[in-house]
């Protein structure tokens, strides 16, 4: 019930800001105020909604996963046909992606057997994100999305747009993207993994991987450059859990092999 309430509050606030920006286009909010208030508020609400998700169970997760996929397909079809307002797509699409990412992250976290397995997961996730950003799918998707958002945005959005977490931005009629759903999956995976082994990965009650993602948003805005989120999340998360848990530091030979072999395969794959 608390999870549903959190989602409803997110939806109401999102629609409220989005519609207000449409009703009062002459009102200008300084960009610094927007960066200092709107993004942290929505980010903290996302963290709150994820933390209130019910405990993972295969039956309930399967039903919810199928429901999320059905909602995603329905939104895509109706939006491509021009039958839904963009604000509705922004709210429902973002909420749906957050729920889906939370499910996937918690499902993947059930596979952890030892705390030290967090290390190869962090290394592989970082390598995959950097490789994808440098010469992989992310590079191509960023180019497509930049062309779309730099243009008039009158045509239906590209497919990649439906995998982005968005918030309303003052003065824009459409929701604007913050980061991809894969970043939220990793956030939940790391936090759920730490929770499983009773490792405190929080700073001021917020998962440090989430703080890394938030830092990446401000860094991207201040430099006007696209920043891959996963390396920054790992940079915040891994040193803290290594410091707070001796079990995480008990790496085995297989952990070292996975941390070397899989990144090597990933970088080799994008270089071919």
Q: How does pLDDT run across 239-253, given as a tens digit for each residue?
A: 999 999 999 999 999
Percentage of residues of the chain with pLDDT beyond 90: 24
Shortest CA distance to 226 belongs to which of 127, 152, 142?
142
Highest mean pLDDT among 23-37, 61-75, 144-158: 61-75
**What is the pLDDT at residue 222?**
75
The region of weakest confidence among 34-38, 70-74, 103-107 is 34-38
Please, what is the average pLDDT of the chain? Answer: 81
Q: What's the rounded Cα separation, in Å, for the pair 169 and 34?
A: 8
Residue 198: predicted pLDDT: 92
pLDDT at residue number 244: 92
Confidence of residue 194 (pLDDT cuts 50, 70, 90): very high
| Confidence label for 173 from pLDDT (cuts 50, 70 and 90) | low
Cβ burial of 82 (10 Å; 0-12, 13-18, 19+) is exposed
Higher model confidence: residue 224 or residue 116?
Answer: 116
Q: Distance between CA 81 and CA 102 in Å, rounded?
A: 29
| 192 CA to centre of own chain | 15
pTM for this one? 0.84
* Residue 193 DSSP code: H
Distance separating alpha carbons of residues 271 and 267, to the nearest angstrom:
6
**Confidence class of residue 65 from pLDDT cuts 50, 70 and 90?**
confident
Residues 6+ apart with CB under 8 A from 272: none
Q: How many CB atoms lie within 10 A of CB 159?
A: 11
The length of the chain in residues reads: 272
Beta strands 175-180 and 164-168, pairing class: antiparallel
Q: How confident is the model at residue 218 (pLDDT cuts 50, 70, 90)?
A: confident
Query: Residue 115's closest CA among 209, 199, 56, 188?
Result: 199
Give me the residue label for tokens 């243009």. Answer: 151
Identify the pLDDT of residue 12. 76
Residue 169 pLDDT class (50, 70, 90 cuts): low
pLDDT at residue number 271: 72
Residue 171 confidence (pLDDT): 62
* Phi (first) and psi of residue 68, to 5 degrees: -65, -45
Per-residue pLDDT averaged across 146-166, rounded? 80
Q: Who wins on pLDDT, 124 or 271?
A: 124
Checking if the pLDDT of 236 tops 90, the result is yes
- Categorize the per-residue pLDDT at 136 as very low, low, confident or very high, splitting at 50, 70 and 90: low
**Residue bearing the bigger pLDDT, 193 or 268:** 193
Closest by Cα among 221, 169, 167 to 25? 169
Task: Give the span between the Cα atoms of 12 and 48, in whole angstroms.
Answer: 15
Q: What pLDDT was estimated at residue 124?
A: 93
Strands (E) in the chain, as ranges, are 164-168, 175-180, 202-203, 206-207
């Amino acid at each position: 019930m608390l999870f549903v309430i959190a989602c409803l509050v997110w939806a109401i606030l999102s629609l409220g800001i989005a519609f207000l920006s449409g009703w009062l286009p002459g009102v200008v909010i300084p960009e610094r105020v927007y960066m200092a208030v709107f993004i942290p508020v929505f980010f903290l609400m996302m963290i709150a909604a994820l933390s209130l998700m019910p405990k993972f169970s295969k039956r309930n997760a399967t039903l919810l996963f199928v429901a999320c996929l059905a909602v995603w397909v329905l939104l895509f079809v109706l939006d491509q046909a021009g039958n839904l307002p963009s604000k509705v797509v922004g709210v429902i699409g973002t909420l749906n992606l957050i729920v889906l990412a939370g499910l996937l992250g918690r499902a993947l976290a059930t596979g952890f057997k030892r705390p030290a397995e967090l290390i190869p997961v962090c290394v592989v996730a970082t390598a995959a994100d950097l490789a994808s950003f440098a010469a992989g799918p992310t590079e191509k998707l960023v180019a497509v999305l930049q062309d779309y958002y730099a243009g008039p945005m009158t045509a239906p959005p590209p497919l990649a747009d439906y995998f982005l977490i968005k918030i309303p931005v003052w003065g824009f009629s459409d929701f604007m993207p913050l980061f991809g759903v894969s970043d939220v999956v990793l956030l939940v995976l790391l936090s759920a993994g730490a929770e499983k082994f009773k490792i405190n990965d929080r700073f001021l009650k917020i998962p440090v991987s989430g703080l890394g993602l938030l830092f990446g948003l401000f860094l991207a805005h201040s430099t006007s450059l696209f920043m891959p989120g996963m390396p920054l999340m790992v940079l915040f998360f891994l040193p803290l859990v290594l410091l707070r848990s001796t079990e995480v530091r008990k790496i085995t030979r297989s952990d070292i092999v996975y941390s070397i072999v899989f990144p090597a395969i990933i970088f080799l794959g994008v270089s071919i």
